């Protein structure tokens, strides 16, 4: 699991922050300089933060904890869906429904409703008309768009990985309320103290989002491999005993 190099991060445009007038003073420690009115992120700090966050994510995956991927901005959706699916983690990429975590029991009811519609539509012999089938199908598609990524999430996640905490402020607030650990890409217009693991990075460019997310996914994969190895070892020891 290789940490992206300084040059790779530079090529992906991870260092580009927002215009100076939009900055959050709490990001000062992560800013290298200002160029033509734009803040430039210190990539050495990005690498440090990535490694620290990655280490913690690996430990979480090793202990079997679920990490919810959250990114509802257009340029990040496909990247996040693919990343979360590759490690069998839940995700939210369409819209963060208020209360998605703080009112999780209601969300679970909506998921069950979606699953029962799926079951009904799959049953060939179900006595529903063509019109009813069409209406149910539309309802299912609507629910799936928003809840599909968390359909298998039976309990609250242990952590969240977010792209742009300024944009996902409701998700950040809910995670804080429930003591859910937060890992996030934080641009120069955001407050890094609002999350547990802030990774200073350009959270608008797809290349930047992809390179940071991929590293986090590699850390989760390593944790899952550790878990698999520990399980095999335990089973082997039990068989000998």
Question: pLDDT tens track of the chain, all 241 residues?
Answer: 799 999 999 999 999 999 999 999 999 999 999 999 999 999 999 999 999 999 999 999 999 999 999 999 999 999 999 999 999 999 999 999 989 999 999 999 999 999 998 888 887 656 788 888 889 889 989 999 999 999 999 999 999 999 999 999 999 999 999 999 999 999 999 999 999 999 999 999 999 999 999 999 999 999 999 999 988 887 777 667 5
Contacts 24+ apart (CB under 8 A), 169-175: 170/96, 170/98, 171/70, 171/92, 171/96, 171/100, 171/101, 174/99, 174/100, 174/101, 174/102, 175/101
pLDDT of residue 132: 86
Taking residue 132's Cβ as centre, other Cβ atoms within 10 Å add up to: 12
Cα separation, 226 vs 241, whole angstroms? 22
HSE-CB at 193 with a 13 A cutoff on CA atoms is 6
pTM for the model stands at 0.92
Cα separation, 219 vs 124, whole angstroms? 44
Cα separation, 210 vs 119, whole angstroms? 35
pLDDT of residue 126: 67
Q: Are 76 and 209 in contact (CB under 8 A)?
A: yes
Cα separation, 84 vs 220, whole angstroms? 10
pLDDT of residue 124: 66
pLDDT of residue 40: 97
pLDDT of residue 3: 95
Cα separation, 115 vs 206, whole angstroms? 32
Query: Of the candidates 12, 61, 31, 58, which has an alpha carbon nearest to the alpha carbon of residue 203?
Result: 12
List CB contacts of 216: < 8 A, sequence separation 6 or more: 50, 53, 54, 57, 83, 161, 183
Q: Which CATH architecture has domain 17-101+156-240?
A: 3-Layer(aba) Sandwich (3.40)
Counting beta carbons within 10 angstroms of the beta carbon of residue 200, is it exposed (0 to 12), middle (13 to 18) or buried (19 or more)?
A: buried
pLDDT of residue 232: 81
DSSP-derived pairing of the beta strands 181-186 and 159-163: parallel
- Is 29 in a helix, a strand, or coil? helix
């Amino acid at each position: 699991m290789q940490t992206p190099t300084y040059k790779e991060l530079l090529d992906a445009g991870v260092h580009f922050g927002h215009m100076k007038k939009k900055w959050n003073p709490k990001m000062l420690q992560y800013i290298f300089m200002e160029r033509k009115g734009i803040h430039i992120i210190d990539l050495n700090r990005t690498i440090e933060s990535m490694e620290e966050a990655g280490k913690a994510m690996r430990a979480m995956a090793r202990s079997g904890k679920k990490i919810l991927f959250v990114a509802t901005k257009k340029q990040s959706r496909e990247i996040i869906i693919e990343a979360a699916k590759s490690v069998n983690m839940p995700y939210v990429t369409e819209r963060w429904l208020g209360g998605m975590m703080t009112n999780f029991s209601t969300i679970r009811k909506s998921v069950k409703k979606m699953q029962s519609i799926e079951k009904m539509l799959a049953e060939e012999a179900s006595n529903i008309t063509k019109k009813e089938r069409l209406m149910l199908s539309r309802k299912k598609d609507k629910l799936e768009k928003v809840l599909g990524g968390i359909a298998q999430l039976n309990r609250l996640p242990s952590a969240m990985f977010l792209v742009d905490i300024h944009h996902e402020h409701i998700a950040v607030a809910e995670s804080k309320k429930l003591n859910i650990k937060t890992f996030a890409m934080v641009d120069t217009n955001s407050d890094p103290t609002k999350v547990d693991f802030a990774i200073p990075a350009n959270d608008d460019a797809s290349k930047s989002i992809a390179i940071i997310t991929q590293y986090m996914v590699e850390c989760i994969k390593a944790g899952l491999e550790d878990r698999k190895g520990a399980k095999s070892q335990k089973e082997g020891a039990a068989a000998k005993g």
